[in-house]
Each structure stands twice: as structure tokens, then as C-alpha cells.
């Protein structure tokens, strides 16, 4: 096989949809969980899952090639490698791949990537008829899956995020759109002199309250149910936007930043943590933000352009992890 043939084969592998979809369907059907430690014949499993036996055998055959399942004398069984796909694996893969969760559903919007490239707008409504956030608001199960996924996505990086910045400079910190509260809880636990205030939508805010109760943070952690497009709790030393702005186009990002600058103390700070274009954001993430949300991984100069109209000046850039940077902004007059 010549060099060009090798290139063609490599490109075919890159472009192939068979394996990504086979993994997603396997997770959606619950195959890794069902076959974990309990081998089953194809006919038996097909009845349990209510699927076509011949088609299921084709799926299991490909999963065997991938090392997800293996054949035994009594049927197919999940391998140790495949066990990473089980629901309780604690790695977020189930919420990312399951076709009926927020993450798995969102990635299917990539079939409309051409729409996003032509228009510069999100592809999600092109596939589902409404934007991602409206979908979450309408379907509580999607919202719950999204919240879990957002918690998983940075769990391993929590120590770096907590240790990589001097959070103790602030006596009060508002975590804007702070999700289930794991980051704010870690910061407050590491710095007993701090008080925190988390703002997120009602269902997510309820989860955050449970997180703070479990961490025994008492009155040091307050929760407000609300949107970051509405006025925020005022007078804190710092307002944190963690993985928020890249989910939004410029119009909505301006509204979020404006709410932070309205609320922060004159000598306070607005902190942005997320992947930065050209620094800690990969090309896949760039396309995900566009297709799913209509946002993007902004570069430093784009953050300056976004924040300057609101009186913010970029003071510091810290590379916290291999995926995220922290941008520290101050008000022009401070």
C-alpha cells in the first residue's frame, strides 16, 4: 500500500461514524451495565432490550472489536475496559454518550455542522427546533444530566483550580452560574475565612444547597435561585464566571458581564475561568461551542473587546490547568 493509500485509510478512520455511534447506542441500551459480570447470549439479551437479535449481534461484534465486550462460552460479557461505560463508573461518560441525556443529544447536532459554518450560528435549533437552554428548561431530565456532566467535567482538576489562585484575597465570592456547587465548596473549604454565594437556576440551586450542606459549610455558603441575565447579589469582592461565557454569543455574553460589573464592589474583581483560544482550548471545543451553543472559545483580545465596554481591564492571566485559564479583571476606576 502506497503512502497515498495510507493517507486515505487514515482519513476514512477519522471520518467514520460507525464507532462513535456504536458506543452511544450501546450506552443508551445499557449494554455495558447489563453484561457486566453477567454474560448473555444474543437471543436472550435481545429479548431483554427489546431489539432485533440479528442487529444486536452486529453491534456486539463491533463492540468486541473495540474491546468493550468479549465472547465467553455462555455469551457476551463486558470487559474491564468496557466497564468504564457503566452508569455508576463516576467518569461522566454515561451522561456524555447516552442519546437521551443532554450531552449525547447535543452532540448529534453536529450533523448540522454545515449550517453553523454557513451562518455562524448554533446548529442545535436546526436539529431540535429550539436552542439548547430551552430544551433543558422544558425537560428536567436533560437539565439534571447536564448538571451532572458539568460537575464531572472538572472534578479531576479541582485541586489545581483551588491551589492555582489566591482565593483568600476575597472575603466574599459570588459564583455566577455555579452549577451544583462543587467548585465553590472546594474553595470555601480550603479558605475558612471566605464566604460564598452561588447563583443558578432553581433546580440546580437546590443541588448546590445539598452540596454545601454535605460539606458542612453552614452560613458561609449562600444560594440564590436565579438567572445570570437578571441582577446579581451585590457588593461582593469577586464574581466568578466558570465555563460560562464560551457557551454564549457576544450579545448574551455582554449581558452576563454587565450584570457582574453592576454588582461588584468598586475595588472588586470579575474572574473568568475557561479555555482560552490559542492557549487552553482545543479545536474540538471550538466547534462544540459553536454547534451546540452558538458560542466560542474566545482569545485574549476577544475577552478584552468583550469586557472593555463594561469598564473592565484585564489585569492577570493564569494558566490553571491544561484545559483552563483564569482571567482577572478589575474596574477601570479601581
Tell me, what's the pLDDT at 199?
Answer: 98
Angle CA 281–285–288, to nearest 5:
155
Catalytic residue among 246, 252, 254, 310: 246
pLDDT in tens, 272-312: 999 998 887 778 889 999 999 999 999 999 999 999 999 99
Grid cell for residue 207 = 443541588
Q: What average pLDDT does the structure give for the chain?
A: 94
What is the rounded distance in angstroms from the CA atom of residue 36 to the CA atom of residue 84? 11
Angle CA 289–229–262, to nearest 5:
115
CB 238 within 8 A of CB 172: yes
What percent of the chain is modeled with pLDDT above 90? 82
Nearest Cα residue to 133 out of 144, 120, 118, 143: 143
Tell me, what's the pLDDT at 49?
Answer: 97
Confidence category of residue 106, pLDDT binned at 50, 70, 90: very high
Nearest Cα residue to 317 out of 308, 329, 327: 327
pLDDT in tens, 237-277: 999 999 999 999 999 999 999 999 999 999 999 999 999 98
With both helix axes pointing from N to C terminus, report the angle between 300-307 and 250-263 in degrees, rounded to the nearest 10: 60
246 included as an active-site residue? yes
Report the 10 Å Cβ neighbour count for 317.
Answer: 14
Assess whether pLDDT exceeds 60 at residue 1. no
Tell me, what's the pLDDT at 6?
Answer: 86
Q: Is 85 helix (H, G, I), strand (E, B) or coil?
A: helix
What is the rounded distance in angstroms from the CA atom of residue 292 to the CA atom of residue 151? 18
Domains of the chain: 3-85 (1.10.10.10), 102-151 (1.10.287.1350), 156-331 (3.40.50.150)
Amino acid at each position: 500500500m502506497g503512502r497515498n493509500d495510507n493517507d486515505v485509510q487514515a482519513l476514512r478512520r477519522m471520518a467514520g461514524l460507525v464507532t462513535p455511534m456504536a458506543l452511544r447506542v450501546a450506552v443508551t441500551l445499557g449494554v455495558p451495565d447489563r453484561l457486566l459480570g453477567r454474560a448473555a447470549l444474543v437471543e436472550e439479551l435481545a429479548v431483554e432490550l427489546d431489539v432485533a437479535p440479528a442487529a444486536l449481534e452486529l453491534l456486539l461484534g463491533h463492540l468486541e472489536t473495540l474491546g468493550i465486550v468479549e465472547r465467553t462460552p455462555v455469551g457476551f460479557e463486558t470487559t474491564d475496559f468496557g466497564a468504564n461505560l457503566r452508569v455508576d463508573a463516576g467518569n461522566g461518560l454515561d451522561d456524555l454518550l447516552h442519546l437521551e441525556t443532554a450531552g449525547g443529544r447535543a452532540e448529534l447536532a453536529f450533523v448540522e455542522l454545515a449550517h453553523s459554518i454557513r451562518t455562524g450560528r448554533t446548529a442545535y435549533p436546526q436539529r431540535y427546533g429550539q436552542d439548547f437552554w430551552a430544551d433543558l428548561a422544558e425537560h428536567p431530565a436533560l437539565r439534571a444530566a447536564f448538571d451532572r456532566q458539568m460537575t464531572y467535567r472538572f472534578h479531576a482538576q479541582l485541586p489545581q483550580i483551588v491551589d492555582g489562585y489566591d482565593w483568600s484575597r476575597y472575603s466574599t465570592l459570588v459564583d455566577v452560574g455555579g452549577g451544583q456547587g462543587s467548585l465553590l465548596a472546594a474553595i470555601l473549604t480550603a479558605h475558612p475565612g471566605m464566604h460564598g454565594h452561588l447563583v443558578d437556576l432553581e433546580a440546580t440551586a437546590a443541588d448546590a444547597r445539598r452540596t454545601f450542606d454535605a460539606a458542612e459549610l453552614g452560613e458561609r455558603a449562600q444560594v440564590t435561585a436565579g438567572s445570570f441575565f437578571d441582577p446579581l447579589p451585590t457588593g461582593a469582592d469577586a464574581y466568578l464566571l466558570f465555563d460560562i461565557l464560551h457557551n454564549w454569543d457576544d450579545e448574551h455574553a455582554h449581558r452576563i458581564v454587565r450584570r457582574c460589573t453592576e454588582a461588584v464592589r468598586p475595588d472588586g474583581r470579575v474572574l473568568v475561568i475557561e479555555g482560552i483560544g490559542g492557549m487552553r482550548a482545543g479545536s474540538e471545543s471550538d466547534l462544540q461551542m459553536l454547534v451546540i451553543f452558538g458560542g466560542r472559545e474566545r482569545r485574549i483580545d476577544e475577552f478584552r473587546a468583550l469586557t472593555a465596554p463594561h469598564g473592565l481591564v484585564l489585569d492577570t492571566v493564569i494558566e490553571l490547568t491544561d484545559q483552563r485559564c483564569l482571567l482577572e479583571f478589575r474596574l477601570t476606576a479601581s
